[in-house]
Amino acid sequence: LALVAACGGDRGGGGGVDDGGGAAPAAPIEATDARGVVARIAAHRGEPVLVNFWATWCAPCLAELPDLMAGPRAFRARGGVVLGVAMEQMGLDLTDAEAVAKATAKARELGLDFANVVCTTDDMVAVREVLGVELGGLPQTLVYDRAGALVEQHEGMATKDEFAALAAAAER
């Protein structure tokens, strides 16, 4: 899978995603399939949205998450939305509950302050088809404008400044 191929790091490490605020998630992280991810994105129509695909076993993903919190801080203050999608089950034999537990633990550890879900569709071809995008490797960030149109994709690690620029693209 292209997403797995682009992501280095230890795939056996701890896990995590966060759904909200500060050192502990504001809301529980839920498991959803690719169609559920699309529904989460669609629920924010009228708002600019950054969707970041990551996994606890992906070292570049974990390395960029602090910048994902910091870069679009002003964007979020203006009503922009950041959604994390943990692809925790790709290539791993985890139950949904195990994947959610790993993602939640990592989110708490990192103090993620944006919403996250665990995608239970572990076939990236299927995820690409449902999202209607050409996803590549992890990490991956999709940028949607207020009308819900995909306006930009960023494959690979992004810096704080790159996340700020992606957020600006969503607001145009």
For 8-30, what is the HEC assignment? CCCCCCCCCCCCCECCECCCCCE
Q: What is the pLDDT of residues 76-122, one digit of tens each?
A: 999 999 999 999 988 788 999 999 999 999 999 999 999 999 999 88
Look at the block and give the residue holding tokens 């669609």: 42
- pTM of the predicted protein model: 0.85
For residues 24 and 22, give the distance between their C-alpha atoms in angstroms, rounded to a whole number. Answer: 5
Tell me how far apart the alpha carbons of residues 162 and 71 are, in angstroms, rounded to a whole number: 7
Which pLDDT does position 134 carry in this prediction?
78
In whole angstroms, give the CA distance from residue 119 to residue 150. Answer: 19
At 168 the three-state DSSP class reads helix
